[in-house]
Each structure stands twice: as C-alpha cells, then as structure tokens.
C-alpha cells in the first residue's frame, strides 16, 4: 500500500478544481457545442426509454386481453363431455327410466369433475353449522331445536370459485329462542 508522503501531489478533492479552469479556458462556442451534444444524447435516451415503456405497456395490455379472451377455454373444454352425454340421452327417447336415471347420475358426476378441475367448489353446510353471511344467504328464520343463528336446512347449494363466492348457499336459519 502506498502512502501519499508528497505534499505537492494533489488529492482527488484538489484535482477536480484544477480541471475546471481547463473547461473555463475553452471557448464559449466549444462549451455550447459540448452542452448541446449532451442535451441531444439525454433527449435521445429519454425518447428511447419512453418508447420502451410504451412497448412494455402495450405488450402487457395485449397479454391481459388474451388472458381474458381465452380464460374460459379450459372450463368450456371440461364441459364438452357433459354436453355430449346430454345429447346422447336425448338421442334415445325410448330408453327405460332406469337407464335414463343412470345416465343422469353419470352426467352429474362428469359435471362435478369439470367444476372441481376449474376450482368451483360447493357450499353445502350441514345442519347446525354457524351461519356465515360471506358464504350463506338466509332466506328465513325458523324456530328450531338447535343453537340460534345456525343453518337448519339448505334450500340451494352455493358455489365458490377460487375461494370467491360465485353464489351463496340459500339457507334457513334457526331463530333465537
């Protein structure tokens, strides 16, 4: 490691003011030309950055648009076997009731699987479950032999999609005693 024992050597702080007089001794025209060149470079850099930002924003908008447009694609694809099963049932008008009922159950299973694959979950609270206004919609309050503000019966199942309520479960609730 070298030490600066020579007091006549300029330190970095002292070297900067020494460079300033050289710039000051340059002609005003040269300084102007230098500053104009710097300004031109800064403007060019600004325009390029602005254009790049606009391109990124435009590409992001296009990706969001495509995602919205095709987001239902996998869901629709999962529902096609259900449609096929229903069409097959309609094509057999003389089928015995037992066979039709068996086909309806199979079609319901297909539909449930399609919903589950697309993160659609049933809300079907058992009797006695505490009423949750975020997942349940009370249709009426009825006298019941259970704790107040609990579900007595489910009139219509509700559904969540990716933990967001698509439709609340329609329930009757136990009235306070």
SS3 100: helix
pLDDT at 129: 95
Across the range 82-98, mean pLDDT stands at 92
What separation in angstroms does the CA of 138 have from each of 22, 130, 165? 85, 12, 15
Close Cβ partners of 141 (under 8 Å, ≥ 6 residues apart): 172, 173, 174, 175
- Convert the pLDDT of each residue in 105-138 to its tens digit: 999 999 999 999 999 999 999 999 999 999 999 9
- Convert the pLDDT of each residue in 1-34 to its tens digit: 445 555 555 554 554 444 444 555 689 999 999 9
SS3 97: helix
């Amino acid at each position: 490691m070298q030490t600066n024992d020579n007091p006549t050597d300029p330190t970095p702080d002292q070297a900067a003011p020494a460079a300033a007089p050289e710039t000051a001794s340059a002609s005003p025209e040269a300084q102007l030309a230098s500053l104009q060149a710097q300004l031109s470079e800064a403007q060019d850099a600004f325009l390029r950055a602005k254009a790049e930002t606009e391109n990124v924003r435009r590409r992001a908008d296009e990706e969001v648009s495509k995602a919205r447009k095709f987001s239902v694609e996998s869901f629709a694809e999962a529902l096609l076997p259900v449609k096929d099963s229903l069409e097959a049932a309609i094509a057999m008008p003389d089928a015995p009731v037992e066979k039709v009922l068996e086909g309806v159950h199979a079609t319901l299973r297909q539909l449930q699987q399609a919903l589950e694959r697309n993160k659609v979950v049933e809300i079907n609270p058992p009797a006695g479950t505490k009423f949750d206004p975020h997942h349940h919609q009370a249709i009426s309050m009825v006298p019941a032999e259970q704790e107040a503000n609990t579900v007595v019966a489910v009139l219509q199942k509700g559904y969540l999609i990716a933990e967001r309520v698509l439709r609340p479960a329609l329930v009757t609730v136990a009235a306070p005693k």
